[in-house]
Amino acid sequence: MRIAITGTPGVGKTTVSKNLFEKLINLENNVKNINITEIVSKNQLYIEKDDEMNSYVIDFPKLNNFLELNTTCEDLIILDGHVSHLLNPDCIIVLRLNPERIFDRLSLRNYSEKKIKENVEAEILDVCLVESIENNVESKIFEIDCTEKSVLDICNIIISFLEHNTPKYGNVSWLEDYFYMLE
Ligand SMILES: Nc1ncnc2c1ncn2[C@@H]1O[C@H](COP(=O)(O)OP(=O)(O)O)[C@@H](O)[C@H]1O
């Protein structure tokens, strides 16, 4: 089973995925936590590197093939990455965060102004959620506003979703309050 943890960079995917892994490994022993950026970089699963944006243009057939070869259908696989919703997941957790917080977190990473703006805009315009809906059955999608939540709370919400399978999205809307950040 593939659990996609998706969302705009800075939203908390890697932090949540690591903590979720620690919780799930206590319940089952076939849990894997896969950071997409890490495996793409390490195994050259990309078409090219965008030096200006310091990011990869992913080779999706190669990446899918890599996942097929390195996992089994018995595994409980956490896919940590902002394209994980495009990797044939069984369920998709879309993490959301107030765009001002995204701005602060990405500024701390010393991202370029262009990269910060692009990602803040993506969060305001719901890009990961829209892509998730476009590429998957809607019943797989669960969206969480992480803004005022601890990592532990977020993990517990995800586990509850996995247990009860109650899809939910559409409650997060930044556009009105943060429109000024698009200008
Ligand atoms: N729920 C949270 N509360 C407070 N800080 C968080 C939370 N989730 C993540 N962070 C912090 O935000 C930063 C970005 O998190 P990270 O997991 O790297 O995001 P992503 O993988 O989506 O790019 C890290 O410094 C992390 O410690």
Measured torsion, CA atoms of residues 55, 6, 128, 62, in degrees rounded to the nearest 10: 50
3-state helix vs strand vs coil in the chain, percent to 5: 50, 20, 30
**Domain range enclosing 130:** 2-182
* Position 28 confidence tier, pLDDT thresholds 50, 70, 90: confident
In whole angstroms, give the CA distance from residue 37 to residue 40.
5
Look at the chain and report how many structural domains it folds into.
1
Which residue's CA is the nearest one to ligand 1's atom 12?
Answer: 12
Q: Is the pLDDT of residue 19 over 90?
A: yes
Q: Is the pLDDT of residue 127 over 90?
A: yes
pLDDT averaged over the chain? Answer: 96
Confidence at residue 38, expressed as pLDDT on a 0 to 100 scale: 97
How far is CA 72 from each of CA 1, 33, 36, rounded to the nearest angstrom?
Answer: 9, 13, 17
In whole angstroms, give the CA distance from residue 29 to residue 83.
26
Distance from the CA of 153 to the center of ligand 1, in angstroms? 13
> Is the distance from the beta carbon of residue 13 to the nearest atom of ligand 1 less than 6 Å?
yes
Residue 155 maps to which CATH number? 3.40.50.300
3-state secondary structure at position 66: helix
Confidence at residue 72, expressed as pLDDT on a 0 to 100 scale: 95
Using alpha carbons, select from 7, 6, 5, 9 the residue that is nearest to residue 106: 9
Which residue's CA is the nearest one to ligand 1's atom 16?
Answer: 12
Confidence at residue 3, expressed as pLDDT on a 0 to 100 scale: 98
Is the ipTM reported for this complex over the cut 0.85?
yes
Question: 67-115 pLDDT, tens per residue?
Answer: 999 999 999 999 999 999 999 999 999 999 999 999 999 999 989 999 9
- Cα–Cα–Cα angle for 5, 43, 115, rounded to 5 degrees: 55
Which residue's CA is the nearest one to ligand 1's atom 10?
Answer: 12
Confidence at residue 176, expressed as pLDDT on a 0 to 100 scale: 95
In whole angstroms, give the CA distance from residue 88 to residue 163.
20
Radius of gyration (C-alpha) of the chain in whole angstroms: 16
